[in-house]
Amino acid sequence: MPPTTDHLSPNHGPRATDAVIDMLVLHYTGMVDADAALQRMTDSASEVSAHYMIDEDGKVFRLVDEERRAWHAGVAQWRGHDDINGRSIGIELVNPGHEFGYRAFPEPQMAALISLATAIVGHHSIPPRNVVGHSDVAPSRKEDPGELFDWKRLATAGLGLWPAEASGEPDDVPAMLASYGYDISDIDAAVTAFQRHFRTERIDGVADETCARRLAGLLSLID
């Protein structure tokens, strides 16, 4: 667990008494800088928060205690569950996002994230399949942390999954997406979210053979 600086937010509430924390959701701040993001997430009027924020230099801010329900995911769904805030830990990564000059996530930030996420996943026994991005759980609304985020590196560190392409002729991409966990009510958005996470060389919402093979490879890791 990396050192953390408390910058506490009022924007949280109780989890359900029977809540099990079994998800880690990663975001980017999508604001011009870290100060603007902290100001927003600690402003009660915004009704937005996360458990942690990691600046680009690797500094970690603790905003909400992990036992509390932070307000980071909004309307979202994963594996049939729709109260994502109630079952997850949320981490915001300082990055201007697609609106303000999206860029790669620097080494100090990634190293701090891996250290923090490893501690969180270990403490709560979060399965790799449930280490996700905001766009994975809200594909019709969100793009973050986006195609420049290094999901493969996280998976190599034991945080999440990364597939080899399956052989054969896999088909029925919507069914495979749903089996993995995606909400497929907007199938084009679900395919795009999958591409942002697992097929960043082409992000167009079109489920081609490469998408199908990678999905089949993912499902083979959880069967």
- Active-site residue set: 92
Contact present, 205 and 147 (Cβ < 8 Å): no
Helix/strand/coil percentages in the chain, nearest 5 = 35, 15, 50
Contact present, 87 and 32 (Cβ < 8 Å): no
Residues 6+ away with beta carbon under 8 Å from 56 = 34, 94, 95, 105, 106, 108, 109
Contact present, 41 and 63 (Cβ < 8 Å): yes
Residue 25: phi, psi to the nearest 5? -115, 125
Question: What is the sign of the dihedral through the CA atoms of 190, 193, 194 and 195?
Answer: positive
Q: Within a 10 A sphere around the Cβ of 17, how many other Cβ atoms? A: 5
In this structure, the strands spanning 12-14 and 68-70 are: antiparallel
First vs last Cα of the chain: how many Å apart? Answer: 31
